[in-house]
Amino acid sequence: GAVVSQHPSWVICKSGTSVKIECRSLDFQATTMFWYRQFPKQSLMLMATSNEGSKATYEQGVEKDKFLINHASLTLSTLTVTSAHPEDSSFYICSARPLGSGGNEQFFGPGTRLTVL
Amino acid sequence: AQTVTQSQPEMSVQEAETVTLSCTYDTSESDYYLFWYKQPPSRQMILVIRQEAYKQQNATENRFSVNFQKAAKSFSLKISDSQLGDAAMYFCAYRSANSGYALNFGKGTSLLVTP
């Protein structure tokens, strides 16, 4: 149980286009989902916290107009990278906190590798 | 803001031996949680072990154990009887008990296991 999927697993796009990444909790409901970015050989950096039915909370330095997050249901959050540029190329990972878990558990998706040409 | 420091970018251990990965953190909070995550080449994050700060007893999960020193703000991971499958990046992470549920990660330690 407690599986989180991400789609797509990898994507290549042209500079200036937008890319949507989906994060789904497959067998549980998630009140909160988190989006992280990981550059090569670096750590995971929190981008934003997404709560179902409300606006996402972005970390300092993350442009909310560039990284649009929608958490429309208890099993789905989406991250849209708008007008992507090569510097947005990275590995994007989501995690989900199960409803009623108390916060000690959060489960990670397998990540999405974005390459912007 | 809390910071998590992993001072060993790379570590190497022989199969069947024991290795300890270091982690220190900086916080003014008294209630929090600490985690070790493993990230193999597949990039899938896997929870290895967690520790609640209010518990004095060190957490243990099979071959994995921690040495939690709250006063020193130290949280090291010991891997016993190392196996080839233990080779991965290991991240130490902190989570506040009072402000949100997001994890604050260290920079990671790359563990190489040699036959």
Binned at pLDDT 50, 70 and 90, residue B101 comes out as: confident
Closest residue to B101, CB basis, from A91, A103, A110: A103
Residues from chain A contacting residue B33 (CB–CB below 8 Å): 104
Residue range B32-87, pLDDT digits in tens: 999 999 999 999 999 999 999 999 899 999 999 999 999 999 999 999 999 999 99
Closest residue to B43, CB basis, from A97, A104, A110: A110
Residues on B contacting A at a C-beta cutoff of 8 Å: 33, 42-46, 50, 52, 91, 95, 100-108
Buried b (16+ CB within 10 A) or exposed e, A35-72: bbbbeeeebbbbbbbbebeeebbbeeebeeeebbbebe
Counting residues of chain B whose pLDDT is more than 70, the rounded percentage is 99
**Regions of chain A short of the pLDDT cut 50:** none
Q: What is the DSSP string of B2-28?
A: -EEE---SEEEEETT--EEE--EEE-S
- For CA atoms B41, B3, B26, B33, give the dihedral sign: negative
Instruction: Identify the pLDDT of residue A102.
Output: 63
Q: Which tokens is A88 given?
A: 């947005």
Cβ–Cβ gap B42/A110 under 8 Å? yes
Cβ–Cβ gap B43/A104 under 8 Å? no
Binned at pLDDT 50, 70 and 90, residue B21 comes out as: very high
Mutate to test the interface with B, among A104, A105, A112, A114 (most CBs of B within 10 A): A104
Decide if pLDDT at B25 tops 90.
Answer: yes
Which residue in chain A has the smallest CA separation from B91?
A43
